[in-house]
Amino acid sequence: MAAQAALVRARDGARLVLHPEGAWTLAATLAPLPPLLDELFDAELRQVRFDCSALAAWDSRLVVFAREVAQRCAARGVAFDADGLPDGVVRLIALADGAAGRRDGAGHLAERGFLRELGEQAIAFLRSAGELIEFTGAATVALVNMLRGRARFRYRDMFRVMQDVGAEALPIVSLISVLVGLILAYIGALQLSQFGASEYVANLVAIAMAREMAAMMTGIIMAGRTGAAFAAQLGTMTANEEIDALRTAAIPPIEFLVLPRIVALVLMLPLLAVYANLMGIFGGALVGLTYLDIDPLQYVTQTREAVTLTDFGTGLFKAAVYGVIVAVSGCLRGMQCGRSAAAVGEATTSAVVTGIVFIVVASATLTIVYQVLGL
Amino acid sequence: MSAVTDDGAAPHVSVEGLAVGYGDRVVQSGLDFGIRRGSVFVIMGPSGCGKSTVLRAMVGLLEPRAGRIRYGGTSLWDAAPERRDELRRRFGVMYQGGALWSAMTVVENVSLPLEEHTELDAWTIRRLAELKLALVGLSGFEDFYPAEISGGMNKRVGVARALALDPEVVFFDEPSAGLDPISARRLDDTLLALRDALGCTMVLVTHELDSIFHIADDAVMLDPVSGTMIARGAPRELLETSTDERVRRFLRRGEA
Ligand SMILES: Nc1ncnc2c1ncn2[C@@H]1O[C@H](COP(=O)(O)OP(=O)(O)OP(=O)(O)O)[C@@H](O)[C@H]1O
Ligand SMILES: [Mg+2]
The pLDDT tens digits for B57-83 are: 999 899 999 999 999 888 989 988 888
Model confidence band, residue A279 (pLDDT cutoffs 50, 70, 90): very high
Residue A214 forms part of a structural domain: yes
Residue percentage of chain B with pLDDT more than 90: 36
Same domain, A99 and A133: no
Residue A274 forms part of a structural domain: yes
The predicted model gives B127-155 an average pLDDT of 88
- Show the ligand 1 pocket: residues with CB < 6 angstroms: A 104; B 22, 27, 47-53, 96
Task: Yes or no: say if A98 and A65 are a contact pair by the CB < 8 Å rule.
Answer: no
Residue nearest ligand 1's atom 3 by CA: B22
Q: For residues B211 and A208, what is the distance between their CA atoms, to the nearest angstrom?
A: 70
Same domain, A28 and A145: no
- What φ, ψ does residue B143 adopt, rounded to 5°? -100, 15
| Averaged pLDDT score across all residues of chain B | 87
Same domain, A211 and A279: yes
Of A110, A141, A167, the position where a domain reaches its end is A110
Residue A117 forms part of a structural domain: no
CA of B50, closest atom in ligand 1: 18
Same domain, A219 and A338: yes
A57 reaches B (C-beta below 8 A): no
3-state secondary structure of A57: strand
Contact A68 B127 (CB under 8 A): yes
- Please say if the pLDDT value at position A149 is more than 80: no
Same domain, A301 and A178: yes
The preferred substitution site among A102, A103, A104, A244 for testing ligand 1, maximizing ligand atoms within 8 Å of CB, is A104
**First vs last C-alpha separation in chain A:** 56
- What φ, ψ does residue B99 adopt, rounded to 5°? 55, 40
To the nearest whole Å, the CA of B48 is away from the closest chain A CA by 10
Of A63, A78, A110, the position where a domain reaches its end is A110
Same domain, A104 and A172: no
Total domains, chain A: 2
Model confidence band, residue A40 (pLDDT cutoffs 50, 70, 90): confident
Of A110, A137, A160, the position where a domain reaches its end is A110
The preferred substitution site among B53, B94, B173 for testing ligand 1, maximizing ligand atoms within 8 Å of CB, is B53
Question: What digits encode the pLDDT tens for the residues A307-319?
Answer: 998 999 999 999 9
Model confidence band, residue A320 (pLDDT cutoffs 50, 70, 90): very high
Contact B101 A242 (CB under 8 A): yes
Task: Yes or no: say if A186 and A287 are a contact pair by the CB < 8 Å rule.
Answer: yes
Domain that holds residue A49: 5-110
- Please say if the pLDDT value at position A29 is more than 90: no
What pTM did the predictor assign?
Answer: 0.71
Question: What digits encode the pLDDT tens for the residues B1-37?
Answer: 333 444 556 788 999 999 999 988 889 999 999 999 9
- Please say if the pLDDT value at position B255 is more than 80: no
CA of B56, closest atom in ligand 1: 18
Task: Yes or no: say if B228 and B201 are a contact pair by the CB < 8 Å rule.
Answer: no
Question: What digits encode the pLDDT tens for the residues A325-345?
Answer: 999 999 999 998 887 777 888
Residue A100: its chain B contacts at CB < 8 A? Answer: 137, 139
Same domain, A281 and A141: yes
Strand B218-223 and strand B40-44: pairing?
A: parallel
To the nearest whole Å, the CA of A287 is away from the closest chain B CA by 47
Same domain, A169 and A106: no
Same domain, A281 and A325: yes
Same domain, A95 and A131: no
Burial class of A130 by CB neighbour count within 10 A (0 to 12, 13 to 18, 19+):
exposed
| Averaged pLDDT score across all residues of chain A | 87
Residue A116 forms part of a structural domain: no
* CATH at A9: 3.30.750.24
- What φ, ψ does residue A29 adopt, rounded to 5°? -95, 140
Task: Yes or no: say if A181 and A281 are a contact pair by the CB < 8 Å rule.
Answer: yes
Q: For residues A20 and A42, what is the distance between their CA atoms, to the nearest angstrom?
A: 20
Question: What digits encode the pLDDT tens for the residues A214-228?
Answer: 999 999 999 999 999
Same domain, A87 and A162: no
Residue percentage of chain A with pLDDT more than 90: 41
Q: For residues A328 and A351, what is the distance between their CA atoms, to the nearest angstrom?
A: 9
Residue A182 forms part of a structural domain: yes
Distance of CA A21 to the CA centre of its chain: 43
Same domain, A313 and A354: yes
Q: A6-10, A124-128, A181-185, B231-235: which has the highest mean pLDDT?
A: A181-185
ipTM: 0.70
Going from the C-alpha of A190 to that of each of A183, A185, A196, A205, B195, the distances in angstroms are 11, 9, 10, 13, 82
